Amino acid sequence: MTQADSGLVAVYPGTFDPVTNGHLDLVQRCAPLVGKLVVSVLANEAKSPLFSAEERVDMLKVVLQEFANVEIDFFDGLLIDYARRKQARLILRGIRAISDYEYELQMALMNRRLAPEIETMFMMAGEAHSFISSRLVKEVIRLGGNISGLVPPPVEDILRRRILNQGG
């Protein structure tokens, strides 16, 4: 699929702590549909991420470098305010399970109330990625499990170094 010939800007926000193959699946499927896809790291340190916002941005830059219409960024504060600054008309959100949908629906409805001009698009996770979450990946690697195929190889290397340096 080729890139859409459109000025449509979409924002794909997330913590990406770390980026998984599920995240990459959504980027691969959405990027051809829009003129520009801004993959943006939520820089909320209150969530106690394993990686800093800058480290997460750097990981995304490595694994998404092949996408000409993908921009990597970070934000804090209200997503709607950020989307407006980026002139986005679309927010991309991934759905793995019904439990994701319930939370995401609440957020989408609040965002619509705050900014009716910006739509939210839900994309179902691909079957091969529907069980992957950053939290689960970190738990598996901390316990010595195999995470190959769950995250891109460069991210797996970074995760292994970080977990080993923390002593588990």
Domain assignment of residue 49, yes or no: yes
Identify the CATH number of the domain in which residue 36 sits.
3.40.50.620
In a domain, 146, yes or no: no
| Whether 61 is catalytic | no
AA identity, residue 27 = V
Q: Could you say which of 23, 93, 129, 138 is catalytic?
A: 23
Position 153 in a domain:
no
Domain contains 51: yes
Per-residue pLDDT tens for 43-83?
A: 977 778 999 999 999 999 999 999 999 999 999 999 999 99
- Checking 99-107 for CB contacts under 8 A at 24+ apart, the result is none
The per-residue pLDDT for range 113-131, each reduced to its tens digit, is: 999 999 999 999 888 888 8
When divided into structural domains, the chain yields a total of 1
Catalytic option among 84, 86, 96, 112 = 96
User: Does residue 151 lie within any of the structural domains?
Assistant: no
Amino acid 97 reads A
Active site residue 134: yes
| Torsion region of 144: left, alpha or beta (phi above 0 gives left; psi -120 to 50 gives alpha) | left
Tokens encoding 77 = 């504060």
Active site annotation includes 96: yes
Beta-carbon contacts of 120 under 8 Å, excluding residues fewer than 6 positions away, are 90, 91, 93, 104, 107, 108, 111, 112
Res 127: pLDDT? 83
